[in-house]
Amino acid sequence: MSKSSRVLVLNCGSSSLKFALIDPHSGALDLSGMGDAFGQGEPTVSWKFNGDKQCTTLPAEARHAEVIRFLVNEILSDCPDLRDNLVAIGHRVVHGGEKFSHSVLIDDAVISTIQDCVALAPLHNPAALHGIEAAHEAFPGLPQVAVFDTAFHQSMPRHAYIYALPYELYRDHGIRRYGMHGTSHRYVTERAAELLNLPVNEVNIISAHLGNGASITAVHNGHSVDTSMGLTPLEGLVMGTRSGDVDPGLLLHLSSRLDYCLKEINDMLNKKSGLLGISELSSDCRALEQAASEGHDGAQLALDIFCYRLAKYIASYHGVLPQVDALVFTGGIGENSSLVRQKTLAHLSGLGYALDEARNQRARFGEEGPISTEQSAVTLVIPTNEEWVIARDAAGLVPPTSPNSDPCSRE
Ligand SMILES: Nc1ncnc2c1ncn2[C@@H]1O[C@H](COP(=O)(O)OP(=O)(O)O)[C@@H](O)[C@H]1O
Ligand SMILES: CC(=O)OP(=O)(O)O
Ligand SMILES: [Mg+2]
């Protein structure tokens, strides 16, 4: 792999597509951007290319394929050198079922497994398939690599991933905890080990990824041993629009007593719950913090519940791990919301957590480092970098025969 190699990373969500052109060796970004607000009028594409920020709108019907076409024909066409140095396309795929514990080159069998998992990640896997198809059209000769959110969690022991349901549901239908956000939890684990000066296979952390989706993972000796998301990305923590854990009896009650049909239950739990549902205002943590500071009771309650439920998971993972070297906050909320970190740790003083408020306030917008006092349980903020992990995995899987690979300098 030559020093000028680049990987194009695509992270396709249901209503957005994030893209980045990355040097897999250093993680340096030539280009990063996103197509946003699909299905809500004219989608915007915004990007930063070698430091310059730009933005445009696309026709209302534009989705993943159109954004990828715009990326190829308009944005990347300005830099023929970079296109020549592209060695692979890396795709974030949320659900890979039980089949993948590592990233893989995409072929028909891989596509078919991603299709099989659509029902388990209905907001995410169809979008990844659109991205793979569009990228294949745009770059027919380039290797494409799938990096699965579920892969990092394949190390969980059976007692963590089997639900207390009839065992045949696992045996015959694969119903079990899979866990998501694994690419982020993996990055955070590796980075925490570096910051703590420990070999990665000796680090024990609790990693809280708090974005629009949110999940928390217990990492023992560098491996995921439990995580809050389950069969689907709906279980666990309170999220932007997802409920997280509820009493399963609720579903029966909604159906038998309140006449909800399956589609209504699905929409309610995935799209109308979480921070949005409680606050009746917004799924966006920033908007809720602002509203709560102005006295909005729903916003305050949503933040209170979010932090309380997160603290309960952190406490329970102290029972999962023999030792905790650090609690780590990451994701848009984890990296930026000093309020959420402060409210969460306020529940955990019994476990030795205490914030250094000055450090907590400083940790924003990409700042990395400890936010705990010297004497208390170590708490870190680590900005996640899923794109770099995806780029590294993709570059590492480029076949030696690929036109852009350089067999003499492969790592
Ligand atoms: N400065 C900030 N303060 C509080 N919350 C923030 C801040 N910046 C971003 N967030 C929150 O981060 C969340 C989005 O996280 P992100 O990881 O970008 O999402 P995604 O899961 O879509 O990748 C939103 O709730 C947003 O309000
Ligand atoms: C799995 C998941 O919830 O992903 P995201 O946070 O990107 O929605
Ligand atoms: Mg994210």
Each residue's pLDDT tens digit, 196-205: 999 999 999 9
**Is 406 a pocket residue for ligand 1 (Cβ < 6 Å)?**
no
Distance from Cα 98 to the centre of ligand 2, integer Å: 18
Q: Which ligand is nearest to the CA of 271?
A: 2
Residues 352 and 397 in one domain: no
DSSP per-residue letters across 242-274: ---S--THHHHHHHHHH---HHHHHHHHHHS-H
- Point out the ligand nearest to the CA of residue 230: 2
Same domain, 226 and 321: yes
- pLDDT given at position 1: 64
Confidence of residue 40 (pLDDT cuts 50, 70, 90): confident
pLDDT at 87: 95
Q: Are residues 139 and 224 in the same domain?
A: no
Q: Enumerate residues 6+ apart whose C-beta is below 8 A from 59.
A: 42, 66
Task: Indicate if 225 and 277 belong to the same structural domain.
Answer: yes
What is the number of the ligand 2 atom nearest to the C-alpha of 229? 1
Q: How confident is the model at residue 402 (pLDDT cuts 50, 70, 90)?
A: low
Q: Tell me, yes or no, whether 203 and 326 share the same domain.
A: yes
Residue 128 has pLDDT above 60, yes or no: yes
Q: Which of 195, 263, 188, 182 is nearest to 225 (CA)?
A: 182
Q: Please, which residues have CB within 8 angstroms of residue 320's CB and are 6 or more apart in sequence?
A: 160, 218, 220, 225, 226
C-alpha span between 295 and 66 (Å, rounded): 42
Can you give the pLDDT at residue 76?
85
pLDDT for position 409: 39
Total tally of structural domains belonging to the chain:
2
Residue 258 lies in a domain: yes
Q: Are residues 359 and 402 in the same domain?
A: no
Q: Ligand 2 pocket by C-beta < 6 Å: which residues?
A: 13, 94, 124, 149, 180-181, 211-213, 233
Domain of 350, CATH number, reads: 3.30.420.40
pLDDT in tens, 141-157: 899 999 999 999 999 99
| 218 & 105 share domain | no
Report the C-alpha gap between 219 and 185 in whole angstroms.
Answer: 9
How far is the centre of ligand 2, averaged over its atoms, from the C-alpha of 17 (Å)? 12
Tell me the C-alpha distance between 258 and 280, whole Å. 20
Q: Which atom of ligand 1 approaches the CA of 209 most closely? A: 17
Whether pLDDT at 23 is above 70 = yes
134 plus 248 within the same structural domain:
no
Cβ 355 vs Cβ 341: under 8 Å: yes
Is residue 169, in this structure, part of any structural domain at all?
A: no
Helix residue ranges per DSSP H, 99-246: 108-116, 125-138, 158-161, 168-173, 182-196
Q: How far does residue 385's CA lie from ligand 2's centre (Å)?
A: 14
* pLDDT (0 to 100) of residue 208: 98
Same domain, 220 and 144: no
Binding-site sequence positions for Mg(2+): 11, 386
Same domain, 144 and 250: no
Closest CA to 11 of 112, 106, 130, 113: 130
Domain, as residue range, for 40: 6-148+389-409
Output the CA 149–ligand 1 centroid distance in Å: 19
pLDDT of 403 above 80:
no
The pLDDT tens digits of the residues spanning 273-323 come to 999 999 999 999 999 999 999 999 999 999 999 999 999 999 999 999 999
CB 236 within 8 A of CB 245: yes
Ligand 1 pocket, residue 337 CB under 6 Å: yes
Per-residue pLDDT tens for 41-64?
A: 899 999 998 788 999 999 999 888
Q: How far apart are CA 62 and CA 96, in angstroms?
A: 27
- Are 144 and 203 within one domain? no
Predicted local distance difference test score (pLDDT) of residue 197: 98
> Which residues have a catalytic role annotated?
149
Ligand nearest to the CA of 334: 1
| pTM assigned to the model | 0.94
Instruction: Provide ipTM, 2 decimals.
Output: 0.98
Q: Is 68 helix (H, G, I), strand (E, B) or coil?
A: helix
Q: Of all residues in the chain, what percent carry a pLDDT higher than 90?
A: 82
| Cβ 184 vs Cβ 213: under 8 Å | no
Q: What is the atom index within ligand 1 of the atom nearest the CA of 275? A: 25
pLDDT, tens digit (0-9, with 9 covering 90-100), for 167-178: 999 999 999 999
Query: Which residues participate in the annotated binding site?
Result: 11, 18, 92, 209-213, 284-286, 332-336, 386
Q: Of all atoms in ligand 2, which is nearest to the CA of residue 242?
A: 3
